[in-house]
Every structure is written in structure tokens, then in C-alpha cells.
Structure 1
Amino acid sequence: MQQVPATPDMDATAGAPAPRVHTLLLTDLCDSVALVERLGDTAAAELFQEHDRLVLRLQQQWKGRMIDRSDGLLLLFERPVNGLGFALDYRQGLEQLGQLRGIGLQARTGMHVGEVLTWHNSVEAVQAGAKPLEVEGLAKPLAARLMALARPGQILLSAVAESLAHRSARELGARSEHLLWRSHGRWHFKGVPTRQEVFEVGEPGFAPLRMPRSTPKAWRDLPLWRRPMALVAEATLLVALGVGAWFIARPEPAIAFAERDWVVMGDLRNLTGNALLDDSVMQALRVSLEQSRHVNVLSDMKTRDTLSRMRRDPVVSRLDRTLASEVALRDGARLVILPAVSEVGGKLRLSMEIVDPHTQTTIRSDFVDGRGLESLLASVDAIALRLRGHLGETSTSVKAASQPLPSVTTSNLHALRAYALGLQATRQGKWQQAMQMYGEATTLDPEFALGYLGAARVMVARSERPAAMPFLDRALALRHRLPDRERLYLDAWEAELRAPAQALEKWQLMAGLYPDDFAGQANSAWHLFSVNRMDEALPFAQAADVPQDPLRPLAADFLARILLAKGAAEPALKRLREIGNETQAGQGRRIANVLAVLERPAEAMAALEAIKPSGYAGTDLVPMIDRVSLALDQGKWAQARAAADGALEASSTQDAFLHLQFRFISGVVAQMAGASLPRSARAATAKALVNAMADPAWDPSNRADLTSMLLANAWLAQREGDASLAADALRQVDALPDKGRLGTTTAALQRIVQAGQLAANGRHDEASRLLSPRADDLYQSRVALYRVLAASGRHAEAETQARWLLQQRGLAYVEANASQVLQPLNVADSRLARLWLAESLAAQGKSSQATAEMQVFLRQWPASVLSPQLLSRAEAILSASKQKITA
């Protein structure tokens, strides 16, 4: 026999083969004999020729060495990742070959890493039919056992092959992010002395990901209690116990997921090449899953916000396995859902993986096949229902909260995609683009209710509520085409725009039925806050102030305002600092308010001065209200007057509503400085307000605020002894055709002015009864009550009201009243309350206490800044204790 030259697999000094570690890959083409019978010899020969070309190309690409071939292949690779790359591409290549001929073409694959001996046969032996290269060793039958165990299309790996391949899988590029790895437990292989753990690897929607079937040469390593004979005995007992246990407790779901836990939706992996599916499938999945009250889906807006905080571009970043898992960990989501759509065997396959974000491993996967695009929405419904079941939702709940997508969205995929793009533009504040997309969606499907609702939302966001009404009405006409949650949302907005008094009830209903839909929670908090029901508002604001809320800064702002109104200034400041955005008008104003209540006026003014202009007059002028209030708080009348006059002049050409507000505020400043406006000036303000109320161009919510300002202007006049303006204002309000829609602030001011008229006529008892304390009182309601009680000689009761006013400085600053137009008056009265307390104490003969309170008052508003009237009142109290005022 011819001598064999030494090779890298041979010990050159000993002249004998030396074992080396290799990756062995074995494949078997499933049902190859039946395939030949079906295709015929000629067609089968052509197929196998293409198959051979595929194998040769992949062998060269992945640097493999062919050892043997027939119906199957035996290849050697230097690295496991190369063997894995070959196996994955081979599976995909077989599928494509089969699709061209309308047949299913699959292979079983097994891969192992171990030591083998290799040697070259002589030329004579090869010419006689031997293989050029021989491979022997225990690793070879191990790989063969794995291959034989695999199901069609399944790639099985030994433990050592899985460990090495998994570690270096990132070298496969982007596809590695979507690979599924699963253990199928320990197995006994015939002829192999030790048990072997078997793993599977594959791509979602293609890998079987199922336990292999036991064969005579490979069987699972089961404990004694799970073996057939033991199972017979166990089954009898378990059936009896199981029936009883079912009625005691529902079995635990297969996945650790609790009711109302959160999931993050990864971006769709679209393998079809059809761009129409990119947005439409994702939107359909969201709508279908969001019908559940068991599963919460993190909103797209919140997801993109989190990406921004991660310093990732939310527009171009794809939520793949890694990025979606990081978002889930940051936002407290329990799981990640990774959807994919592909074409398999002429069918449209929608698949979905459930991923643990901590380990990024796939917990479960599922898929649904359909024929053609028309099957897609049904597939989405089917896979969403399965997913909800996997996550522990009861079948009863699933059935109760599930409507077919075509009936609650649209059957037109182009319309669905336009709607999805409209939502995306809405999230980015691109209002015109959003309206174009919603218009396209409703043109393609005139009964697409969600499209009209989306357009109404944009108009409300743009503060164009009248323009929202046609879209709202169209959505209302099609409300049967909306999911349950969106119907509640629509009803709430109808109340908001048409019957504000009913809006709170609608938002509370939504918050109760869908506690993790933050529109219900945040809007309930706002409505309760706006009517001073702070204790009730607090839990709603807390429920919305969570990481999953896409508008969390807004909810946190509500929470901070509520805390300040309840007297918790330090916690309010802490929460506001956590939000950030301190140079924006809203945040800067609120921080200044809290600092003023904490008696830190210099820091409060610095917070106001740090606010950056937005370029929008309505936003940039509002902080002037806080500047006026802060100046009044310190008794700086000239500074308050300059701020009010500057805002009055700027608003005259920029914002009609703010201009009317600052006309009223200028009157407040004049009154506090002891230089009250003439009656003609207050009458002119009242006339301007009445004319504005009659203008149909005003938003209904603005008309309610205008009516409140008319009554507040009358109240200022009453405080100076002028009752005629009050009578006129009350007549104007009584004559309004829609006064039932004016809200609680207007009603409270109406009671204040009515009580003022009664008191002016000496009917103090009637006035005090009209002003009996309520949980939702305005700050000015208690001011009016104090004045009535003091004027009627009920000084002990007046003292109680004065102390209440002193304790509610937080409320004085943040009360919502008519767009905060009463804030400067409230703040000034919160200082005057100290004088009122001193007067009530003095009237009761408590001279020392009265003197102490008056000294505090004079430290806050020095005698040098007091109007002659206030100065004389202070002197009256101090003279009783023989003390003098030091200017």
C-alpha cells in the first residue's frame, strides 16, 4: 500500500493519527425516496443537482470539509459557529428550493463538538470506492444520534456544541439577535455511557422548538415517577386530586406574569419585503392586545421617550431583542414580545416570541399561518388571543374582552397603515402630517372610527376644540366600530367638550375599568384638582405618576400641585426637581410657587427668571401672573404694578384671553397698594368680559373662565363697597343660556358675589349660610366667609377662617380657578389673613396674641409699604398694647 504523507491531523513523529477536536455536522434530507417518486427521476435529478450546488456554495462560505454524502451530509468545521451558520443557511436554502417546486423540503440536523481521528485513504482505495477522508471517534455516533432524533427542520446540538456556538453567535450578524435557543433536557443515547443534554437552535417562525420524539436509539432521561408504569398509578390519584384542586384555585400560568403586568412590543421583523405590513401589523397587534384588561402594553410614545433618555434616536432605532429588553428593564415591564411576519410554503406566517428581558432568552414562541394579505388581521387576532392565554388570562376574560379587528379597526390594511403613521406623527407633534394621515385612513375606509377619533385628538391638542367637533361626531356615529376602551375614551371627550360637568364621572369610569390607561387616571386627577378636591385627586395622580405613563411629567406635575395645595411643600419641591425641565414655563412656575410658600422669595424669582422663552405668547406671558403674585407676597407694590402693566401691554396684541386676565389682575394690584381703580375702569373691564362671553368664537372652556372673571371683578368692587357692578354681573350670569356648563369655579364665585350682596344689605346670617364651608371651596370662598363673620361680630368663627387661610398658602398659589387668574388676589389675601387673625383675636380680648400676630404681619409687609387704611388698622391693634409701629 502506498505510504500516506503526514497531514495536520497526524502525529508526524509517531506516524499514527492523532485525535483532534472538530465540529461535526450531520444532516438527513427528509422523505427523499418519496420525493423521487413524487417528482419523477428527471425532475428529482435536477433538484438534487441544485441541492449539490447549494451545499458546495455553503461549504465554501462556511469553510467546511465534506466527509460523506448521500441522502444526507457529514461535514467537519473548525469552529461551531461555522457549523451553525451552515445549518441555518442550509435550512433556508432547502425551503427556497422547495417553494420553487411547490413542495416541502426539510432536513434533520445534528451538531456535536468532540475529538475525532481523521486520515486519508490511499489513491487505490479511493479509486475502489473508499472516501478520500475517514473520520472516526465517539463524536461521530453522538452527532448521528442527534441528527436521527431531530424532527424535520430541527437543528439539535449537544451541550458542548450549544455552549461554544451560543457564545460566538454574534459573529452571524443581525440574525443572531433573533435566534431561539432551547434545552430539551437530558437524553440516553444507545451505546453512549453518559446522559447527554440536548439543545435546539432556530429562527422564530421556522424552528419547530418542540421536544423530539424518543426512538429506540435515543430516549429521555425521566425520573422514576414520570415513567409509564409509575404514571398509570399516579394518574388515578392525580385525577381525583386535580378535580378538587381546580375548584380551590386556578392553576398557575406557565409564564411568571401577573394580572396588569406590562409588556414591551419589539419592532416587527418583516421578512416578506412588503412595506405595507411594517406599520399595519404593529398597529393591529397593539389594538388587539390592548383590548385585554390582564395584559398592559407599554405605549409606543413611552417606549420612544425611554429610547431618547437612553440617548438612542427614537426614529431610527429598532426595538430588537437587546434594545427592547433594556427598555423593559428601565420601565418595569415583565416581558418582551417580538413579532415577525414571513412567507413560508406559500403562506403568510405571523409569529411571536415571548422573551425574558433579564436573560433575553425566549420563554415561548407561537405562530399562525394564513393565505394572503386578507388573512393577516385574522392571524393577528388568533395569535393575540393565544398570547393572552400564555400570559395567564382566563378564557372567560379573553372572550369577554375580544372583538375581531376588522370590526373595531378596518379591514383595509392601507387604511390601517395610514392610521399608524398618523399616530406616529401625533406622537412627534407633527399636527399637519397627522391630520393628512388620518384623512387618508378615513378616505380609504369611511367607517374607520379610530381615524376620526385620532383627528379629534389632534384638534384638541392644538387647542382648536370647535374644529374637533365634526371628527368627534363622526366617531360617535361609528362608536360600535371602536374597541371598548376607546368607546369610553370617546364618551369622556364628548362630555369634556359638550357637558363638562359630566366629564369627571366619565374619566373616573375609565380609570376604574382600565386602571393602567393613564388618560382616565390623569384626567380624573386634573378634574378633581381643578375643583379643589385634593384628597380625592391624590390617588389618581399617584396612579398616573408611574414609569409606564408616556405623559408622566404631566402626571408628576399634577401630583406636585396637589401636594403643595395639601400643605406638603417639601415633597412637592422634591417631585418637581425630579421631573427636570426647570427652564420650561410650567415647571419653572410650579417650582417658584413652592419656593414662595417655603418663604424663599429670592430663589422663587430666580426660578421664574430661568424660564426660557418658547416663542408662543400664551406660554411666555403666563409666568407674569407668578411674578405679580410673588411681588404682592413681599409687599412690593411697584414691582407688582410694573409686571402687571408690562403683561397687559404685551398681551394686548398677542393674546386676547390673557389681556382680559391682566386687566383684572391690574385691578388686584391697585387695590392691594391702596390705589383702587375708579368705578369706570372696573365697569370697562366688566363690559369687555361681557362682550367676550357673547362672542361665539371663544372655546366653551374659555367662556366659563370669562364668566368667572366677570364675577371676580364684581367681587373686587364689593370689597371696596361698590355693589352695583355685582348686581349687573349676577344678572348677566343668570341670563346665560348655557350656565349649567360653567363649572364649579363659576358657581363658587356666584355664591361669593351673592353673599356679598346679602351682607351689604345687613343679611349676614343668610350670607354666612350661603358660604358654609365645603370640601371644594375656593380660597376666596373662605375670604368672603371671614369678612361676613367679622362684619357680623362672630369673631371666634372669623378667627377659625383666618387661621385656615394662613394654613392654605399652597392652595392660594396653585388653585386652578379660571386659569389661575385669582392667584395674585389669593396670595395677597394669604398675607392679609395675618392681619385679620390679629383683628379677630383683639375683638375677643386676646390682646397679647393679637399683638404677636400683628408683629409677624409687619415683618412680612413692613409698615413703610402699607396703605393708609391698612396702617391705621395695624396701629389700632398695637395701640391697645401701648406698642408703636416702626417704619
Structure 2
Amino acid sequence: MNDFAQAGFDPAASPQVRTLLLTDLCDSTLLVERLGDGPAAELFRAHDRLVLELQQRWRGRLIDRSDGLLLLFERPIDGLGFALDYSRGLRELADRPEVRDRKLALLARAGLHVGEVLTWQNSEAAVQAGAKPLEVEGLAKPLAGRLMTLARPGQILLSATAEPLARRASRELGDRAQNLIWKSHGRWRFKGVPDGQEIFEVGEPGFAPLRAPRGNGGKAWRDIPVWRRPTALAAELFLVAGLATGAWFLTRPTPAIAFNERDWVVVGDLRNLTGDAVLDESLEQAFRISLEQSRYVNVLSDLKVRNTLELMKRKPNTTLDRTTASEIAIRDGARAVILPTVAEVGGRVRVSAEVIDPHTQTTVYAESADGVGAESTLVSIDEVTGELREKLGEAIASIERDSTPLPQVSTDNLDALRAYALGEKKRYEGDMQSAVGYYKQAFELDPNFALAQAAIGRIYIGQRKMSEGKAAMQRALAMREHLTPRETLTLEASLARFGPVTPLLNQWQRLIEMYPDQLAARFGYAQDTWMMTNRYGDVVSHAQASAVPQSPYFAMGNYLEGILELGDEDYERAIAAFKMARRKGYLGAGGSYAYVFEAQRQYDQADKTYAAHGGSNLAEALEDIIFAFTMAVDRGEFTRARALYEKGLPLASKEDPLVVAAPWRFYGLGLDLVQGTLTDEALQREFDWVDAHAKELDALYRGSADFRTALGYLAARANKPALLQKAIDGIGDPAQFKEDPLRVQAYEVLLAERDRLAGREVAAIDRLAPIARKPEALAMVHSAYARALADAGRYQAARDHARWLATHRGRVFVERGVSSLLDPVNIADTTFAELDTAEWSAKIDDDKAAKAAADRFRKAWQAKDLPRATRVRIDAL
């Protein structure tokens, strides 16, 4: 009794609740044997310094130590923080040359428990005799020891008492708390403990085993229900075997997350724990490429993720950790988050990935694959993504069909892959010049890296460098064996834009059929159908499909929908779509939205709407001038339109000469025609330019034929039959247009205008009548048809088509193809149509209609700025 009192032990003292952490350094004897006494002693001194530092950081008290540690903490989160940092510190110690060269691993197993303990201080005499300064006893101590013994090397096990307390406070661990995996290993029984205990594991992906504890039949074993024990299982086996065979054909394993075919996932940022910087971006990009081969799992694009971050008021380079990626997934309707990790474990490189439920942020699945050296990571990624796809419910046959090895469809050069990934990052940031530089570097490092060439081509196309973009895409497609099937189809569709229309639209449809959620294909199909066939309402659904929350066209899809509704002249729906696009954050060039109001002659609202635009990929000053010029022509402000044209000419000359500068000159020709000042010399000058650049133009989607057709139409409108014939002769065989609907229409207009000018009005009417009846007929068809009818003396029918032009103003603002070169003429024609209606109504003695049309014309265009020929016509009325 006196000895107890001297030691500070009070038998009446109450037990205290404390957190106990027991650790064991695995294979420490082997470590000494392999290193030798001297190096081992130095290593253990470094180990002791690590323990002392962590004790102070996590407010722990070291009770005992030998090959392992016994520490006492006030709070479970402190014990867990110590265990995690201890594991990390051991990995750093294992990187010392003497350890690394011998390929030795420094791993510890750990058990964490919270329970009641009794503590007392030993006397100084006892400590000097070898006793510990502080003694700890109680049932909690052996229970923590059982947990530690049960753990695998590198594994941290927690009792059911410690886990919820530590998990609730895990935010105190900082950023890494978001990446921890918490996993239950079910109920276990320990020798000497009457009740079963649920055991949990916590660890960092890539390092923690995340496997069931190894078990110890003598002191710890799984708490298996009676019906699962051997004696019961024997009786159940026959029944289960019979039922299982039938059930396999009727059902398939249901994943622990409610994931269905074509659901979406968010891929978080890869955690690179190897210290090898070349793996930072390269493996994250590789993981995405591998996963995107699936037709079952849809991957939210990087561009869409960055757009969502912007809407969340976060910086574009925000780390996509567990919390942020989960928030994006919830916002964008993704069903799961995938967090990849690469780490070096025991001298091997481990690639691992977790599937996260974004609503609870818990890990549903975790898969990993090991390899030797950094070059093994691509094969490991394919293995991991294949396993994840299967667990998400994809059929094995589908995985095998849609899984080309990563080194084949990207590159086996990690430096090239990193350059490509950096290029992608710069592209998403809008720095296209730097992006192209990285893509070129990637291709130089691996001349078979087709994806890099395709990326260069897309940027050039976006910059309207059509020739360079087409060439880069052709080089990429020539290496199709190094592209995924999805990328091959996408590239073929992009290149098809430089050819006939029918194959292009068929290519988009094939891509959509193969990959229904290839949202770029939905957008591309809707856009190209509008631009190349003059159809609108029947593809609105594709524009809407591209505007789903998971789409990079989330807002642009609605903007395209607005353009299509404008072309269909459903102004109310168009405004609603444009408003939705702006609500989603897309300001766009602004012109099309403003045209909705311009088409209704709501000029103030048009100007106000355009003023809120966000610019386009043209120089902003030129974009503004083009809009102002178009509006000036529409409002009959021709002096102002001329000044704007002259102002824009030098700016347009600085842009692409084929795609920007030449069309701008055609705007000037159109203005000349409207003002009655178009000369043979001006037309001949452009004919010469087209002849000189025919080869370059024919390499583009527009082609020299479009320019010659526009020149021919202008010549016909200016009553210059010789130049019209020159255009027809230059175009050549019309059979080349059999799969280009708009070019067929435009060519037929030229032939009809030739007939009309030659006095063959009936032939012109017969040629245009079948086309004019179609809903996709261009404005120039209706205009030419009305003139042919009037020249034939069929004024009633001519007036009807003039009214069509006057009342279908929305269409002329969005027509493409040849029409886009003739915008000033087509737009002015919707007002000239009122003057035509007035004149032709007078011809049939419908004075009331003539007066109403003349009044509408005067209201639209003020007399002070009218061309002289137009003033003569209105005065004659």
C-alpha cells in the first residue's frame, strides 16, 4: 500500500476517457539486419526525431516504446493526425538512399481506440530503475493492441468508438481531410472481449491498403453470422447453387451507387504523391482519355467543369478535391465523382481511384493497380478504369469492345502527354497561343501523337485559320490507329465541314447514334443543318439537347436555339432562348439576340441588347462595326453605313483574308448595289481576286463557287448580263453541288436571272417555282422569283412573294452560305419589298394596298438618305 502511495497511484481515483494509439514498425528486425547496426541506428535516431516532432504537433504523450509506440491523446482527431503524419514520415524516411537502394519499405500498423483508462506516475526511484514515468491500464489498452495487431502494414484501424469522433472533427486535418477514405470492415471479435466490435479503416488513397484486416485466429476473428458458418453453409450450398444460376441470368450486380447507363461522372484532380512532376497533369489527362472511351459512362468535360467553377465564383484553377468535385457533380447532375491518385508504395508505382457519392462524399469503390516505374502508369490506368466501369454496371463485353490501350490512342511518352495536358489547361484558360505551343511540343516529342495534332487543328479553326486547321486535322486523321473510335468520328465530322453537306450531316448523325451524349455532336449537327441547309425548327431539339447541365455548350446551346427560333421567326421563343443563354452566363457576340428586335423594327431594344454583348472571336472593334453597319443598312441610314464600311475595311484586312476580309469587301459591293452605284470595275476586281485565290478558297468549306455565285447575283441585280454569265461559266459543272442544298438553290437563281434578263421570264418562273415552295428556300430565291413574276406581268403573285420577304425579316438575319456574302442586299430587300408591293399593287389597281405598303416603306426608311433611284420610285407612287 505504501508503494502505491509513493508511486502516485490512488485506488479510489476515477478512470478517465482517453484516446490510445498503438503502432508497430513492421519488420524492424529485418531492417536492422539488411542495413547493418550503424546505418540502422542512424535511421532510428531520425525516427525518434520524427516521433518527438509529431508528439508536440498533435499534443500526444508517449507512454511506451520498443518496436512500436503507445501514445495517449485527449482527442481522437489528435491521435488520427499523429497516425497519418507518422505514416507519411515513414515514407519520407524510406526515401533515404540507404533504405531506397536496398528496396526496403518502412510501414507501420496502427490501432486507435477511445476508452476508459487509469493512469499513475511512477516514483523517481522506479523510473531510474527502468520503469515508465507514466503507467496506463484498463480494457482500452488491450483493445487498441488487438486493433494494431489486426492491421496490415500501412493500415490504420479505428474502433467503432473512435471512428465517429475522429470523422466529425476531420476538418481540423486541413485540406487532406477531403481526400481521406473511411471504410468499414464489418464486425470483429477479440479474445477476452465479450461483444463484437465494428472496425473502420482510414487512410490516404494510394497508400492505405483499404483491404480487410489480415485477421488473427487466436486473438481476433470476423464476427460471422450463424448462417454463414461452415456447418450452416454446407446445408445451404445446394439451395444457393441452384438459385444462383437462374438469378445470374435474371439480374446483374447492382452497384452501391445508383449509377445507370449514360450517367455522368466528374473526374477530380489527380493527387500525385510520387514527387515526380511529370506525372502531375499527364496522368490526369490519361485517366480522362481512358475513361472517355466508354459509351456507358459519360465524363464531364474539363471545359464544362471550369465553366461551373466560374458560376460558383471560384477560380478556374481551383483544385478539384472531394468537396469541390462533389459540389460540381451536384450542380451539373453528375451521379459520381472519381478521384485518381498515383503514389509510390514499396518501390512500386500505384495508380488508384475512388468512386465518390457526391451527396455524402463517401467512398463507394476504390480500385488500384501497381506497376514498376513511371512508364507502367498508363497500363495501370487502363486496368483501374476498366474495373471502375465494371463496378458502375458496364458489361464486360462492352468494356472489352470500347477499351483501346492508352499508349496506342494517346502516347507512351509521359513528357509528351504532360505537354498535351498543359496545352489543354491553357486552352480552357483562353490562352490559345500558349496552348498551340504546348500541343506542338507534344507532337515533337511523339510524332504519332494524333490527339495533339487534332487539338492544334481545332484551335486554328476557332481562330478562323481554316487552311492551317484543316491541314492539322488531316494529319491527325492520317494517324487514326492512334485515336479512339470516338475521337476518330469527331475528327471526321470536323473535316467533313470542308466538303459536301449531305456527308457532313450524315457524319454528325452517326456520331450521335454511336454516342448519344456526345453533346458537341448535337451542337454541331444543329449548327451545320442551319448554316448549310437553311433548316431551323426541325433541329431545335438538338440545340436544346446540347444545353443540358453536363454540356460545355450549356449556355451556347440555348444561344444556338435562339438563332434557330429567329430563323423560324418565332420571336417569343427566340427571346426566351437568348435570355436563358445570358442567364447561364453566355453573352456571345450579341448580334443574333439583337436581330430578334431588329427584325421587328424595335430599334432601341436592338441597340440596348447588343450593348450588353460579350464580344466574339473577331476583333471586338470589327465586330461592333459589322453590327452597326448591318443595322444602318436595315434602317436606311446609307450615309452612315458607307462611313462604317470604310472604317471597318482596314480592320478586316488585318484578319483572315479569305474568311473575314473578302466577305467584308462583298458587304461593300452589296451596299453599292443598294445605293445604285455598283460598277463593272468593282465587280471585275473581285472576279480577278477570286480567280487568283480559287485554290485556297476551294480548300475551305465556303469555296470559290460561293464567291462567284454572289458576284453573279450582284451582277444580275445590277442588270449586267455579261458579268452574270462570267460567274456562271466560272462556277463550272453544277453536278458538284448535288449534295450542297444551298449552293443548288443559289445556282438555280443565277440561271433564272439569266433567263429573266434575256426575256425568258416563264423559264425563270418554272425554274424557281419548285424551290420557292420549300420552307428552306433562301431569301434570294423569293426575291428572284418575285422579279420574274413581275416581268411576266403576274403582279398578284409577284406581290405575294414581295410580302413574304417583307414579313420574314428574321430569316434574312441568320441565313448562311452564299446569303452571308449578300447580307446587305437581303436585309435591304425586306424593306424594298414594301416598295415592290406598293408598285405591283398599283399595277392591279389595288390602291389601298399600294398606299399601305408605301406608308410602311416611308416609315422604315427616311427620304433624306434614300438613294436617288429609290427616291424616283417612291415619288412616282
- The yes-or-no answer on 1:382 pairing with 2:373 is no
Q: Unpaired runs of 5+ in structure 1? A: 877-884
Q: Unpaired runs of 5+ in structure 2? A: none
- The yes-or-no answer on 1:351 pairing with 2:386 is no
Q: Which residue of 2 aligns with 1:774?
A: 774
Q: Which residue of 1 aligns with 2:315?
A: 313
Q: How high is the sequence identity, in percent, across the aligned residues?
A: 45
Shift of 1:392: 1.8
Shift of 1:742: 10
Q: Give the direction of change, closer, same or farther, for the CA distance of 1:781–1:197 in structure 2 (3 Å limit).
A: same
Q: Which residue of 1 aligns with 2:21?
A: 25
User: Do 2:694 and 2:703's aligned partners in 1 also have CA atoms closer than 8 Å?
Assistant: no
Question: How far apart are the structure 2 equivalents of 1:603 and 1:471?
Answer: 43
Cα shift readout 1:295-326 (whole Å, capped 9, x = no counterpart): 222223333333344343334x3322223223
Shift of 1:21: 1.7
User: Do 1:625 and 1:824's aligned partners in 2 also have CA atoms closer than 8 Å?
Assistant: no
Question: How far apart are the structure 1 equivalents of 2:93 and 2:653?
Answer: 76
- The yes-or-no answer on 1:725 pairing with 2:723 is yes
Question: How far apart are the structure 2 equivalents of 1:622 and 1:713?
Answer: 24
Shift of 1:687: 3.6
- The yes-or-no answer on 1:336 pairing with 2:334 is no
Q: Which residue of 1 aligns with 2:72?
A: 76
3-state SS in 1 of match to 2:209: coil
User: Do 2:257 and 2:357's aligned partners in 1 also have CA atoms closer than 8 Å?
Assistant: no
Q: Which residue of 2 aligns with 1:566?
A: 568
Please tell me the residue identity of whatever aligns with 2:815: E
Question: How far apart are the structure 2 equivalents of 1:866 and 1:798?
Answer: 24
- The yes-or-no answer on 1:65 pairing with 2:67 is no
Shift of 1:224: 6.3
Question: How far apart are the structure 1 equivalents of 2:127 and 2:430?
Answer: 74
Q: Which residue of 1 aligns with 2:466?
A: 465
> Normalising to structure 2: TM-score of the pair?
0.86
User: Do 1:708 and 1:745's aligned partners in 2 also have CA atoms closer than 8 Å?
Assistant: no
Please tell me the residue identity of whatever aligns with 1:293: R
Shift of 1:616: 6.0
Report the more deviating stretch, 594-603 or 433-442.
433-442
Q: Which residue of 1 aligns with 2:120?
A: 119
Report the more deviating stretch, 42-51 or 15-24.
42-51
Cα shift readout 1:249-295 (whole Å, capped 9, x = no counterpart): 44323432222222222222222211121122222222211222222
Question: How far apart are the structure 1 equivalents of 2:152 and 2:693?
Answer: 76
User: Do 2:819 and 2:826's aligned partners in 1 also have CA atoms closer than 8 Å?
Assistant: no
Cα shift readout 1:836-865 (whole Å, capped 9, x = no counterpart): 567777878877677666665555457888
Matches within 5 A, 1:130-169: 131-169=132-170
Q: Which residue of 1 aligns with 2:302?
A: 300
3-state SS in 2 of match to 1:16: coil
User: Do 2:9 and 2:121's aligned partners in 1 also have CA atoms closer than 8 Å?
Assistant: no
Q: Which residue of 1 aligns with 2:410?
A: 409
Q: Give the direction of change, closer, same or farther, for the CA distance of 1:693–1:786 in structure 2 (3 Å limit).
A: same
Q: Which residue of 2 aligns with 1:110?
A: 111
3-state SS in 2 of match to 1:305: helix
Question: How far apart are the structure 1 equivalents of 2:55 and 2:796?
Answer: 98
Question: How far apart are the structure 2 equivalents of 1:127 and 1:29?
Answer: 27
Q: Give the direction of change, closer, same or farther, for the CA distance of 1:236–1:114 in structure 2 (3 Å limit).
A: same
3-state SS in 1 of match to 2:253: coil
Q: Which residue of 2 aligns with 1:526?
A: 527
Q: Give the direction of change, closer, same or farther, for the CA distance of 1:176–1:789 in structure 2 (3 Å limit).
A: same
- The yes-or-no answer on 1:708 pairing with 2:710 is no
Q: Which residue of 1 aligns with 2:483?
A: 482
Question: How far apart are the structure 2 equivalents of 1:701 and 1:577?
Answer: 37
Please tell me the residue identity of whatever aligns with 1:505: N
User: Do 1:686 and 1:713's aligned partners in 2 also have CA atoms closer than 8 Å?
Assistant: no
Q: Give the direction of change, closer, same or farther, for the CA distance of 1:741–1:373 in structure 2 (3 Å limit).
A: farther
Question: How far apart are the structure 1 equivalents of 2:694 and 2:855?
Answer: 52
Q: 2:686 aligns with which of 688, 694, 706?
A: 688
User: Do 2:616 and 2:623's aligned partners in 1 also have CA atoms closer than 8 Å?
Assistant: no
Cα shift readout 1:712-731 (whole Å, capped 9, x = no counterpart): 34434434554333222212
Q: Give the direction of change, closer, same or farther, for the CA distance of 1:240–1:819 in structure 2 (3 Å limit).
A: farther
Report the more deviating stretch, 398-407 or 505-514.
505-514
Question: How far apart are the structure 1 equivalents of 2:278 and 2:586?
Answer: 39
Shift of 1:565: 0.7
Please tell me the residue identity of whatever aligns with 2:811: L
Shift of 1:450: 2.5
Q: Give the direction of change, closer, same or farther, for the CA distance of 1:792–1:180 in structure 2 (3 Å limit).
A: same
Shift of 1:82: 1.9
Question: How far apart are the structure 1 equivalents of 2:586 and 2:131?
Answer: 82
Cα shift readout 1:624-665 (whole Å, capped 9, x = no counterpart): 444344344444444445444554576578786666545544
Cα shift readout 1:352-404 (whole Å, capped 9, x = no counterpart): 12222223222221211111123222112211212222222211111111111
Q: Which residue of 2 aligns with 1:882?
A: none
User: Do 2:556 and 2:581's aligned partners in 1 also have CA atoms closer than 8 Å?
Assistant: no
Q: Which residue of 1 aligns with 2:83?
A: 87
Shift of 1:347: 0.9
3-state SS in 1 of match to 2:590: helix
3-state SS in 2 of match to 1:342: strand
Matches within 5 A, 1:503-652: 503-530=504-531, 531-580=533-582, 587-608=589-610, 620-644=621-645, 646-647=647-648
Q: Give the direction of change, closer, same or farther, for the CA distance of 1:236–1:44 in structure 2 (3 Å limit).
A: farther
Question: How far apart are the structure 1 equivalents of 2:866 and 2:40?
Answer: 106
Question: How far apart are the structure 2 equivalents of 1:850 and 1:223?
Answer: 95
Question: How far apart are the structure 2 equivalents of 1:378 and 1:107?
Answer: 29
Q: Which residue of 1 aligns with 2:785?
A: 785
Matches within 5 A, 1:199-238: 199-212=200-213, 213=215, 215=217, 231-232=233-234, 235-238=237-240
Cα shift readout 1:174-204 (whole Å, capped 9, x = no counterpart): 4323211122344555555655433211111
Shift of 1:774: 3.1
Cα shift readout 1:46-89 (whole Å, capped 9, x = no counterpart): 88777666545544543333334455443211221221122223
Q: Give the direction of change, closer, same or farther, for the CA distance of 1:475–1:146 in structure 2 (3 Å limit).
A: same
Q: Give the direction of change, closer, same or farther, for the CA distance of 1:152–1:647 in structure 2 (3 Å limit).
A: closer
> Normalising to structure 1: TM-score of the pair?
0.85
Report the more deviating stretch, 503-512 or 595-604.
503-512
Please tell me the residue identity of whatever aligns with 1:589: G
Please tell me the residue identity of whatever aligns with 1:64: G
Question: How far apart are the structure 2 equivalents of 1:76 and 1:289?
Answer: 45
Question: How far apart are the structure 2 equivalents of 1:620 and 1:46?
Answer: 70
Q: Give the direction of change, closer, same or farther, for the CA distance of 1:551–1:34 in structure 2 (3 Å limit).
A: same
3-state SS in 2 of match to 1:84: helix
Q: Which residue of 1 aligns with 2:732?
A: 734
Cα shift readout 1:551-588 (whole Å, capped 9, x = no counterpart): 54544432221121112223323333444499999522
Q: Give the direction of change, closer, same or farther, for the CA distance of 1:18–1:820 in structure 2 (3 Å limit).
A: same
Shift of 1:796: 6.5
Cα shift readout 1:430-473 (whole Å, capped 9, x = no counterpart): 44444443333333333332333333334333333333455444
Q: 2:274 aligns with which of 257, 272, 278?
A: 272
3-state SS in 1 of match to 2:411: coil
Question: How far apart are the structure 1 equivalents of 2:286 and 2:663?
Answer: 46
Shift of 1:517: 3.1
Report the more deviating stretch, 388-397 or 294-303.
294-303
Q: Give the direction of change, closer, same or farther, for the CA distance of 1:652–1:411 in structure 2 (3 Å limit).
A: closer
